[in-house]
């Protein structure tokens, strides 16, 4: 079975400071990893993904994420936070080896609050 852990329910960051939203995963095969963002009462918007290749992945709105195989982590980062980044962030995993469920398995989400 595959799973995702987002250890922080909420992350508070001052505007202009760097931010990190943590994610660790468990999957039996090759991990395909995704980050999505959700604004209130809206669906999920895709930010970025890691499939293979460079461990540092760049995505939308200045976000990036670093894949660390030894630590089974895929933390989301941004060098300088904006108030408009305040939202709910979800990490998700899929087994790229063809085993397990085909659908994405999501973490519980992390509320990111950027303070002016």
Which residues, in sequence order, are CB contacts of 53 under 8 Å at separation 6+?
Answer: none
Check binding of 34 to another protein (CB under 8 A).
Answer: yes
Check binding of 83 to another protein (CB under 8 A).
Answer: no
Per-residue x/- track, 44-63, another protein (CB under 8 A): xxx--x-xx-----------
Task: Say whether 75 sits in a helix, a strand or coil.
Answer: strand
- 47-84 burial code (b ≥16 CB/10 A, e <16): bbbbeeeeeebebeeebbbbbeeeebbbbbebeebeee
Task: Say whether 100 sits in a helix, a strand or coil.
Answer: coil
Closest CB 2 distance from another protein, rounded Å:
11
Check binding of 74 to another protein (CB under 8 A).
Answer: no
Q: How far apart are the C-alpha atoms of 49 and 34, rounded to whole Å?
A: 4
Q: Which is nearer to another protein, 41 or 70 (CB)?
A: 41
* Out of 90, 93, 112, 114, the residue judged to bind another protein by CB under 8 A: 90
Query: Which residues of the chain form contacts with another protein (CB under 8 A)?
Result: 4, 32, 34, 36, 41-46, 49, 51-52, 90, 92, 94-96, 98, 101-109
């Amino acid at each position: 079975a595959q799973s995702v852990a987002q250890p922080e329910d909420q992350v508070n960051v001052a505007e202009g400071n760097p931010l990190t939203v943590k994610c660790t995963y468990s999957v039996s095969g090759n991990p395909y990893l995704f980050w999505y963002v959700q604004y209130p009462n809206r669906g999920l918007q895709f930010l970025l993904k890691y499939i293979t290749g460079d461990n540092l992945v760049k995505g939308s709105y200045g976000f990036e994420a670093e894949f660390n195989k030894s630590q089974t982590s895929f933390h989301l980062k941004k060098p300088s936070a904006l108030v408009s980044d305040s939202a709910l962030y979800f990490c998700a995993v899929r087994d790229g080896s063809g085993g397990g469920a085909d659908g994405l398995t999501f973490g519980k989400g992390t509320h990111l609050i950027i303070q002016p």
